[in-house]
Amino acid sequence: MPDQTLTFTPDQLELLEQVRQQQGLESIQQVAEWLAKQALRKHADRAPGRGRTLVLVQQK
């Protein structure tokens, strides 16, 4: 997978550092990856179709 370069403001870096400490991650890069994965999971859960919960409907 190709690397992407991200630029953060000092305020964003401070917030990323807080997340890094809360999640026990080793680097800001890991925080960025973790946040991206969380966002993908959140949006995937909202997507219709495959992966959604299937419920058996009783026929009358």
Longest dimension (CA), the chain: 62
Q: How many domains does the chain have?
A: 1
- Residue 27 or 49, more confident: 27
Q: What does the pLDDT look like over 48-60, one tens digit per residue?
A: 766 566 566 777 7
Share of the chain above pLDDT 70, in %: 83
Structural domain includes residue 54? no
pLDDT value, residue 52: 60
Residue 35 lies in a domain: yes
Mean pLDDT of the chain: 84
Residue 56 covered by a domain:
no
Contacting residues for 44 by C-beta, under 8 A, at least 6 apart: 51
Closest CA to 19 of 44, 2, 38: 38
- Coarse DSSP helix, strand, coil percentages of the chain, rounded to the nearest 5 percent: 55, 0, 45
Residue 54, pLDDT score = 58
Would 25 be classed as within a structural domain?
Answer: yes
Residue 5 lies in a domain: no
| pLDDT(1) > 60 | no
The answer as to whether 2 is a domain residue is no
- Quote the domain boundaries for residue 25: 10-46
